Amino acid sequence: MKRKREKPLFKRRTSAAFEIVASLKSLPEIRRAILAQAKSLGIDGRRIYRVILAVEEACSNVIRHAYDRRTTNPLNVMIETTSNRVHVLIRDVGRPFDFNEYPSRDMVQRSLRARARGGYGIHLIKSLMDRCEYVRSDTGENNLSLVKYFGKPVKAAQGRRDRA
């Protein structure tokens, strides 16, 4: 009788959760944490670069807009990486921001002057990640969940509406 090949009980997985100072100076620390996890699982640099860029944009938005650069508020980042997926959860208690309602910009159609004013962060996050979900909790937390798959591509930015 042919013996059925057993599936491994556990996928290779690493995770980390940390609270960082909500300052632009913390951005390299976030980049290093994601890169270190990916390297430990053999995920190549180009694939993880997209995740790093999306998370950077999200954290930068929290620091500059949700917190107006006040560094006393908490910014929590949870990263869970398996060999075929990275899931990042970013949590803050700043001003609500409805990520889902923010329109994707048609960059090519924008004038040079309009482009110089910026506002590309959300567009990049939605373009780079497979799943984006924003939830404003009843207790006043912004929760942004970002997922990137490395196996079969699943390209759909999804999201639930603000529950606040």
Partner 1 sequence: MDFKVDSKPADWDSEMTIVRLCGSVDAQTAPAFEKEAMGLIEKGRRKLLIDCEKLDFISSAGIGVFMVLLSEVEGDGSLKAMNLSEEVYESFDLLGVPEIMEIYKSEKEARKASV
Which positions lie near partner 1, rule CB under 8 A? Answer: 24-25, 27-28, 31, 45-46, 49-50, 52-53, 56-57, 60, 63-64, 107-108, 110, 112-113, 115-116, 118, 120-121, 123-124, 127-128
Considering beta carbons, is residue 62 or 147 the nearer one to partner 1?
Answer: 62
User: What is the nearest approach in angstroms of partner 1 to the Cβ of residue 127?
Assistant: 5
Considering beta carbons, is residue 57 or 79 the nearer one to partner 1?
Answer: 57
Backbone angles phi, psi at 86, to 5 degrees: -120, 130
Beta bridge partners of 14: 81
Backbone angles phi, psi at 17, to 5 degrees: -135, 130
d(CA 103, CA 88): 22
User: What is the nearest approach in angstroms of partner 1 to the Cβ of residue 117?
Assistant: 8
d(CA 87, CA 142): 16
Considering beta carbons, is residue 116 or 156 the nearer one to partner 1?
Answer: 116
Max CA pair span of the chain: 71
